[in-house]
Every structure is written in structure tokens, then in C-alpha cells.
């Protein structure tokens, strides 16, 4: 099985309950090139959409866990909106 790309950085902003903005400071040795700032959609999470019931709570929960923290993302793909789709680990 091929090795997945991994990017590491600090969470600049939580967009909603399953999307964040990452300041990428380590993306070396990967198969693909990454931007200095990437929007990341968490692969195994499907939070309520903005404006729907539970959305604010889901966003706050993710923000409390990762805002400003150093994280790594195992990259699985990019979606049609250009977001990195991946699994997140708090470093």
C-alpha cells in the first residue's frame, strides 16, 4: 500500500464542525505540493451544516479541541472545493 501524504501545522481557524484552516509548516517529502495555508475537511466526521440545529455546538467543540494547536493531517484526497480531506491528530 502506498504511503499517504502528511502535512503538519497550526490550526488558524475552525470554519465549522468538520472543517478548519491550517497554517502548514511541514509538508516535505510528500508526493504532492501543498499551499502554506490549507483548508482541511475532516474525513471521518460529518457535522451539521452552518445554520442548522447542532452546528454551533459542533463548531465550538472542534474549536475547543484544536484552535491554535499543532496538528498533523494524513491526507486522503482533495474534494471538488479544493479542500484537503484527511484524518487529524493533535500533535
CATH code, residues 6-90:
2.40.50.90
pTM of this prediction?
Answer: 0.92
Q: Residue for cell digits 475552525? A: 14
Determine the Cα–Cα distance for residues 39 and 62; give it in Å rounded to an integer.
Answer: 15
DSSP character for 4? P
Per-residue pLDDT in tens (0 to 9) along the chain, 91 residues: 467 899 999 999 999 999 999 999 998 889 899 999 999 999 998 999 888 999 999 999 999 999 999 999 999 999 999 999 999 999 7
Domain ranges of the chain: 6-90
| E strand segments, 1-91 | 6-16, 19-26, 37-42, 70-78, 84-90
18 within 8 A of 46, measured Cβ to Cβ? yes
Amino acid at each position: 500500500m502506498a504511503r499517504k501524504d502528511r502535512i503538519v501545522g497550526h490550526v488558524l481557524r475552525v470554519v465549522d464542525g468538520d472543517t478548519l484552516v491550517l497554517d502548514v509548516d511541514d509538508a516535505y517529502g510528500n508526493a504532492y505540493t501543498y499551499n502554506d495555508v490549507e483548508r482541511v475537511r475532516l474525513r471521518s466526521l460529518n457535522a451539521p451544516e452552518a445554520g442548522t440545529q447542532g452546528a454551533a455546538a459542533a463548531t465550538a467543540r472542534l474549536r475547543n479541541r484544536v484552535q491554535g494547536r499543532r496538528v498533523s493531517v494524513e491526507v486522503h484526497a482533495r474534494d471538488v472545493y479544493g479542500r484537503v480531506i484527511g484524518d487529524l491528530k493533535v500533535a
